[in-house]
Amino acid sequence: DQQVKQNSPSLSVQEGRISILNCDYTNSMFDYFLWYKKYPAEGPTFLISISSIKDKNEDGRFTVFLNKSAKHLSLHIVPSQPGDSAVYFCAAKITQGGSEKLVFGKGTKLTVNP
Amino acid sequence: DGGITQSPKYLFRKEGQNVTLSCEQNLNHDAMYWYRQDPGQGLRLIYYSQIVNDFQKGDIAEGYSVSREKKESFPLTVTSAQKNPTAFYLCASSRIRSGANVLTFGAGSRLTVL
């Protein structure tokens, strides 16, 4: 049962345009959502997070939007740059039995074309 | 510089052999995690530990074992019982009860079974 879903395996955009990566979730107990960026053969790096009580968080070119009623979040990158080409993972935090853990989606590969 | 060190970066194993992947952190983080990445599968949680001498199974713990004898160290043993061990393994750490529980990842270890 996949609790965090990224339905688009890949996305291609032109440099300077907006990239929108989407993520859906099923568990209402998630209290934070995070986005990570990953290059091949490297560990993921943290980009931005949002609390479940917020609907928007912005950090430079990156903005995350959360729609709790739809159980949907999205990451906007404006303007997109070739260096943004990577796999982006959506993750959700849950606390169970006093332990915290992150559940990850399968990732979306973003390609930004010059 | 603080961070997470995983070793070895590449490892080859014959079928039937156990191998141990090392993970060390100097971030003074309480929690440590092991994830496995397969193509198209995202990151799946193997084991995690919130405190020394205690750890919990993740979603795919079968065929793996861990120990947490020191706060800084969380080695993962891939046993011969793991049916499909070839994968990219990622270790991570975090401060618990810190809001979003942002994970810091190591660079990963790629295990190939010959």
Whether residue A56 has pLDDT greater than 80: yes
Q: At B15, give phi and psi (nearest 5°).
A: -60, 140
B32 touches chain A (CB under 8 A): no
Q: What is the pLDDT, as a whole number, of residue A1?
A: 67
To the nearest whole angstrom, how far is the Cα of A70 from the nearest Cα of chain B?
A: 21
> Taking CB atoms and an 8 Å limit, are B40 and A9 in contact across chains?
yes
Give the model's pLDDT for residue B40.
81
B95 reaches A (C-beta below 8 A): no
Which residues in chain A are closer than 8 Å to B4, comparing Cβ atoms? 43
Residues of chain B contacting A101 with CB distance shorter than 8 Å: 33, 45, 48, 58, 101
Of B4, B42, B108, the CB nearest to A41: B108
Mean pLDDT of chain A: 95
Question: A86 in contact with B at a CB cutoff of 8 Å?
Answer: no
Residues of B21-36 as b/e, b for ≥16 C-beta within 10 angstroms?
bebbbeeebbbbbbbb
- Count Cα neighbours of B96 within 13 Å in the Cβ-side half-sphere: 15
pLDDT for B39: 84
Quote the minimal CA–CA distance from A66 to chain B in Å.
Answer: 15
Model confidence pLDDT, tens digit, residues A76-108: 999 999 999 999 999 999 988 888 889 999 999
Residue A9 reports pLDDT greater than 80: yes
Secondary structure tally for chain B: helices H, strands E: 0, 11
B45: nearest CB among A44, A98, A101: A101
Predicted pLDDT at B90? 97
Higher pLDDT, A2 or B5: B5
Question: Which residue type sits at A97?
Answer: G
What is the C-alpha to C-alpha distance for residues A92 and A79, in angstroms, rounded to an integer?
25
**CB-based contact (8 Å) between A103 and chain B?**
yes
Give contacts of B31 with chain A, Cβ < 8 Å: 100
Residues 6+ apart with CB under 8 A from B26: B2, B3, B72
**Token pair listed for B32:** 């440590």
Distance, in Å, from the CA atom of A81 to the CA atom of A79, rounded to the nearest integer, reads 6
Does the distance separating the beta carbons of A107 and B42 come in below 8 Å?
Answer: yes
Q: Is 80 exceeded by the pLDDT of residue A54?
A: yes
- B53-94 pLDDT tens trace: 999 999 999 999 999 999 999 999 999 888 899 999 999 999
Report the distance separating Cα B93 and Cα B79, nearest Å.
23
Query: Is the CB of residue A92 less than 8 Å away from at least one CB of chain B?
Result: no
Q: Tell me: pLDDT of B1 over 80.
A: no
Residue A66, pLDDT score = 98
Q: How far is B90 from chain A (nearest CA, A)?
A: 7
Residue type, A28: S
